[in-house]
Amino acid sequence: MASKQDNVKDIVDRKYEHGFFTDIEADTVAPGLDEEVIRLISKKKGEPAFMLDWRLKAFAYWQSMQEPDWAKLKRDAIDYQAISYYSAPKSKADAPKSLDEVDPKLLETYDKLGIPLHERARLAGVAVDAVFDSVSVATTFKQKLAEAGVLFCSFSEAVKDHPELVERYLGTVVPQRDNFFAALNSAVFTDGSFVYIPRGVRCPMELSTYFRINAANTGQFERTLIIADEGSYVSYLEGCTAPQRDENQLHAAVVELIAEKDAEIKYSTVQNWYPGDEEGRGGIYNFVTKRGDCRGNRSKISWTQVEAGSAITWKYPSCVLRGNDSIGEFYSVAVTNNLQQADTGTKMIHIGKNTRSTIISKGISAGRAQNAYRGLVKMFPTAENARNYSQCDSLLMGNRCGAHTFPYMEIKNPTAKVEHEATTSKIADDQLFYCRQRGLSEEDAVNMIVNGFCKEVFRELPMEFAVEAQALMNVSLEGAVG
Amino acid sequence: MLLEINNLHASVNDVEIIKGLNLTIAPGEVHAIMGPNGSGKSTLAQALAGREDYLVTDGSVSYKGRDLLDMEPDARARAGVFLGFQYPVEIPGVSNVYLLKAALNARRKEKGEPEIDAIEFMRFIKDKAKLMELDEKFLSRGVNEGFSGGEKKRNEIFQMAVLEPDLAILDETDSGLDIDALKVVANGVNKQRDGQRSFLLITHYQRLLDYIEPDHVHVLANGRIIQSGSKELALELEEHGYDKILAAAS
């Protein structure tokens, strides 16, 4: 028993062994953004020169760019000089000391979602020094991954330990000047995840940010880079169904995926950031750039997302189908309630021959929320025999919400085939009545109908995630009818 | 008495459709309500099930001694009132099994019984499916999703068999069925007559009653029951049509 305790203690202590967090505990950079701030960030992180140059280049681009306004979103202007771009892990002085001090409503939600007790504290931002289970689990898993040759670490660690990989791949899918928010992220990102799956390796487990040691401190500008080398496979899960609290209003992450020849990446997201109160106050702006590059022949990238949180969600996980016979997939459920807004969809860029893409998008609006699907299917002249199938379904609950579909198509090859189907429906009174006549309460009936509507997407999620996603859907739409 | 309807008045969109209807059903009885189109048959069924747009303006309905009109639609269902829909709706992505399990457990909870476990449930509904000559693959398909008209109706009777209601109201279950499907449906109903369960069959045509023998037949016209009798009344209607009886009543 004693030795077991020592082990646990070891593991707990190890979290701090890099000294990174403890060193900077007192540090916070004053709000504002200029070259000096970027130099400071890079220096604090002990980055090699190429990284600083890369950041500075991004910053120069960003300064010349205009904030885009084409999305169907209403929001207040963001003051970029009011944001602090580097802050040490949040001071624990202000954090709740225990779950007793946490908003009971939040705890109730955790309960409904079936979040394990030890996770609740971390999610609610309680000042706990170590979350025993997840740390030890993470350590065990890391060992298993190392045996397979998989690299899975924080972005900061990757920059230090595998600079050659970072330098080779970073920004090759989402270049610094790709868009305003990507440029900002490139200049100031503080951390994120890095994954490299070597040639021919099938990653032995689902990789989840849930088990990522530094997950709590990735901050508002997160950077993720996943590389699947030839013939490899990885399934990556991002996010968590539990409502996550964060003081930062703007979240501008960048995710880059690279699939080499015959490689496959499956990327699943459940996003449930704080949506703000019923009047939409205080919610998170989630402006994310996610793109995957099917670089090699017969490669495949599949995005599955369940977007339930945030005041505003603005993102288009995309696939560049460069390799011949490569495959891109996008499965999405976006649910908006109260005053939430979502403008989300995908881009499928067909370049290689015989490339195929599938888009299944399910938008659900309730309350006074607005939900837009925006998608681009582009067939290059080189995309011989390329195929796309898109299906966009919207479900409205009540009569004060909106659903919008903006499909864009650019077809430059006569052999390419594109199919698009779109439906908009209301939860029909007769469906509700039918379920109630069989004995289901109104709330259960709504949940059942909504889950049925989302089924094609949920079944793409890894099993345990799918169950959580259903529960999340029910909680998100509570009180939406009646 | 299981059901006592007293001077029922009901409107749809401010138009009065049911105009003072009286009907009493004892446990185990099978009643058939016949009538021409627009006489109020379906309105009666919907009002008893508690559909929102069907406004009861006067009268009372007592079910097992409770005020039925005071109960929410789902509470009525859990208390054992089943409506077989004339036009069963499709619920994409929700499997038949899933809906039925939720429905059955809601009913069991009401009765203070524990939830049925998954294995027992599957065995139970497979037996019931056999009873309705329903292919097992129907169980996992979306509720009525892509079903033919006949399959939808058969599915309604199958659901009834699973939920074992005390009062089953079947709203034109026979319409749109060919003779083979009609026999299957009638057979399903007959197997569920156990001397306790009561049925209210709503139909336009007599032919259903060739296969399900009612204890009482009522003729509904212009929102009222204008004549009641034994099963012979149905044959009489078949022979002479509604005109004669309507003329006699007016």
The pLDDT of residue A98 is 67
Mean pLDDT of B131-147: 84
In a shared domain, residues A118 and A166: no
Q: Pick from B89, B101, B108, B140 the residue to mutate for testing the A interface (most A CBs within 10 Å).
A: B89
Q: What residues form DSSP beta bridges with B142?
A: B95
In a shared domain, residues A102 and A162: no
Mean pLDDT of A193-197: 93
At A233-268, the pLDDT tens digits run 999 988 765 555 555 678 889 999 999 999 999 999
Mean pLDDT of B228-244: 84
Tell me if A34 is assigned to some domain.
no
The residue ranking higher by pLDDT, A425 or B68, is B68
In a shared domain, residues A117 and A191: no
CA angle at B248 for the pair B245 and B250, rounded to the nearest 5° = 110
Residues with Cβ < 8 Å from B145, sequence gap 6 or more? B90, B91, B92, B93
Answer whether B71 touches A (CB < 8 Å): no
Collapsed DSSP state (helix, strand, coil) of residue A249: coil
* Of the residues A132, A153, A186, the one at which a domain ends: A132
Residue B58 scores a pLDDT above 80: yes
Answer whether B163 touches A (CB < 8 Å): yes
Tell me if A457 is assigned to some domain.
yes
Q: b vs e for A67-76, b when ≥16 Cβ sit within 10 Å of the residue's Cβ?
A: eeeebebeee
Domain count, chain B: 1
CB–CB contact B93 A453 (8 Å): yes
Residues of A in contact with B89 (CB under 8 A): 428, 430-431, 434
Mean pLDDT of A382-390: 96
Between A63-67, A85-89, A363-367, A371-375, the lowest mean confidence (pLDDT) is in A85-89
Q: How confident is the model at residue B250 (pLDDT cuts 50, 70, 90)?
A: low
Structural domain containing residue A113 = 95-132
In a shared domain, residues A371 and A435: yes
Phi, psi of A55 (to 5 degrees): -65, -45
The residue assigned the tokens 């996992």 is B140
Residue A7 scores a pLDDT above 60: no
In a shared domain, residues A305 and A212: yes
Q: Are the C-beta atoms of A81 and A32 separated by less than 8 Å?
A: yes
In a shared domain, residues A139 and A271: yes
Closest to B85 (Cβ–Cβ): which among A434, A455, A456? A434
The domain spanning residue B223 has which CATH number?
3.40.50.300
In a shared domain, residues A121 and A186: no
Q: Pick from A394, A421, A438 the residue to mutate for testing the B interface (most B CBs within 10 Å).
A: A438
Between A158-162, A460-464, B54-58, B121-125, the lowest mean confidence (pLDDT) is in A460-464
Mean pLDDT of B30-47: 92
Between A53-57, A362-366, A373-377, the lowest mean confidence (pLDDT) is in A362-366
Mean pLDDT of A263-287: 82
The pLDDT of residue A110 is 65
Output the six-digit token pair for A368.
Answer: 């006074």
At A311-352, the pLDDT tens digits run 888 899 999 999 999 999 999 999 888 888 888 999 999 999
Q: How confident is the model at residue A132 (pLDDT cuts 50, 70, 90)?
A: very low
Q: What residues form DSSP beta bridges with A300?
A: A264, A327
The chain B residue lying nearest A427, using CA atoms, is B91
Residues with Cβ < 8 Å from B200, sequence gap 6 or more? B3, B25, B31, B32, B33, B45, B48, B167, B168, B169, B170
Domain count, chain A: 2
The residue assigned the tokens 């002990």 is A46
Tell me if A89 is assigned to some domain.
no
In a shared domain, residues A197 and A245: yes
pTM, entire model: 0.78
In a shared domain, residues A105 and A168: no
